[in-house]
Copies of this chain bind each other. A is one copy, B any other.
Amino acid sequence: MNIKGQNRIRVAVDAMGGDHAPENQVLGSILAAKERAGSVEVILVGKEIQINEILKNNGGKPRNISVENAEEVISMEDSPADAYKTKPGSSLIVALDLQREKKADATISAGNTGAVLASSTLKLGRIKGISRPAIGSIFPTEKGKCIVFDVGATVDCRPNHLFEYALMGSIYMNYIFGIDKPTVGLLSVGEEKSKGNELTTEAYKLLENSNLNFIGNVEGSDILKGKTNVVVCDGFVGNIVLKFAESVLSLLKNRFKSYSEQGFFKKIWIGMFYGTLKKVIKDFDYEEYGGIPLLGLNGVSVIGHGKSSPLAMKNMIFKAEDTVRAGINNKIESALNNKII
């Protein structure tokens, strides 16, 4: 199928997944459908009555939005591994089924991350040659952006998993962010080849002998410095670093607040201060990135933050379209099979 030639990319949206679902999911879909009327078709999957009500209250249903009813909802409390079996009629599973049946080209969800990962893997299958799908996360850096793979899909990795992450991350940064020959760094405890744990010292050898643009080990401090475009690590380390990073702003906010409670003028000053801080660090804003990619699947599945706003949902739909049009999966498969990487 020549995706590039296809008029509209069909994105199935899990309308019930997310802290503010279905409101934000529907509003974001309206934004996306209007802004990319010629290139995107949105299929809102979830409780039809609720979805139609929100559409009606917000100017009606755009022509490139359709609604697919699904009465069940996977909650944050549902077991990721079992959700696809226990709730086959849920919005997430129905949205994935649409893609499996070629009625959609991509699926996006801001729901239970573990369930999106497990169900996407089971419903779409893996790319030939990829052992484990991986979740990437975009980090802002002093020089722009980098992607960290994996941030939670696989907590006990083998060296070849890290190699696959490096390959997928390179292709993603190349085709989605337009970076030519992205650099790859292996997250470790020192720059020297000998520094690291058993996993990374083995993975180092694989990366060193590949055609990837491998620059060697990078340290925890090199992520934000922007030393490399792709940072590779196991999902245990990546998840901890990601969550730690997300909590830094919360700590700063908290400190500003307690500092400002010391007086009226200080309060005003801190208000201005915080406003500036927000501008300065807007790149930390996940909304801009439009979700995090789940790579290695025979299909396109984009995971969003539970708190996704309408803007974040819109950008997730765009990210899904871009990923489909770029043919990322075919490129990963070719790279693996033809050893062109």
Chain A residues packing against B (C-beta within 8 Å):
140-142, 152, 155-156, 187-189, 196-198, 200, 219-225, 233-237, 239-248, 250-252, 254-256, 259, 269-270, 273, 276-277, 279-281
**Contact residue among B152, B197, B247, B280 (Cβ-Cβ distance under 8 Å from A189):** B152
Chain B residues contacting A224 (CB-CB under 8 Å) are 244, 247-248, 250-251
With both chains docked as a complex, state the minimum distance between the C-beta of A119 and any C-beta of chain B, in angstroms.
18
Chain B residues contacting A140 (CB-CB under 8 Å) are 251
**A242 to B237 CA separation, bound complex (whole angstroms):** 12
With both chains docked as a complex, state the minimum distance between the C-beta of A219 and any C-beta of chain B, in angstroms.
5
With both chains docked as a complex, state the minimum distance between the C-beta of A190 and any C-beta of chain B, in angstroms.
9
Known: A189-B240, A255-B280; 16 extra A-B contacts, CB below 8 A, are: A142-B251, A142-B255, A155-B189, A155-B197, A187-B240, A220-B246, A220-B247, A221-B243, A224-B247, A224-B250, A233-B240, A237-B237, A245-B248, A270-B276, A273-B277, A277-B277
**A277 to B251 CA separation, bound complex (whole angstroms):** 12
**A239 to B244 CA separation, bound complex (whole angstroms):** 13
Chain B residue with Cβ nearest A219: B243
> In the complex where A235-B189, A259-B279, A273-B276 touch, is A219 in contact with B248 (Cβ < 8 A)?
no
Chain B residues contacting A197 (CB-CB under 8 Å) are 155-156, 234, 236
**Contact residue among B233, B240, B281 (Cβ-Cβ distance under 8 Å from A220):** B240
